[in-house]
């Protein structure tokens, strides 16, 4: 599964990361805080949360607003 990481600048395109790569990062570090772009479907992010919960990780998922517009948000996921 491909997910889009949050952009650093509004005019940039989001970078794509594979689920396998996220899993490798967590196995290496033990935990991770990741920020995902608003272009990701909510369904895919819920799948990500459930995937790691099944592997006995604690997962915290929320929407982060960074501006006054409704369009100014990203997703934050903590995997511990």
Residue stretches of the chain with pLDDT short of 70: none
Q: Count of domains in the chain?
A: 1
Percent of the chain with pLDDT over 70: 100
What local confidence, expressed as pLDDT, does residue 53 receive?
96
What local confidence, expressed as pLDDT, does residue 14 receive?
94
What local confidence, expressed as pLDDT, does residue 71 receive?
87
Residue 12's domain spans which residues?
A: 2-79
Distance CA 6, CA 26 (A): 18
Each residue of 33-55: pLDDT tens digit? 999 999 999 999 999 999 999 99
Closest CA to 73 of 6, 4, 3, 1: 6
What local confidence, expressed as pLDDT, does residue 15 receive?
95
């Amino acid at each position: 599964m491909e997910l889009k990481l949050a952009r650093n600048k509004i005019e940039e395109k989001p970078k794509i990361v594979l689920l396998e790569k996220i899993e490798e990062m967590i196995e290496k570090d033990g935990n991770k805080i990741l920020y995902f772009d608003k272009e990701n479907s909510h369904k895919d992010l819920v799948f990500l949360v459930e995937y790691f919960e099944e592997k006995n990780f604690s997962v915290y998922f929320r929407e982060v607003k960074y501006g006054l517009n409704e369009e100014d948000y990203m997703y934050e996921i903590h995997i511990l």
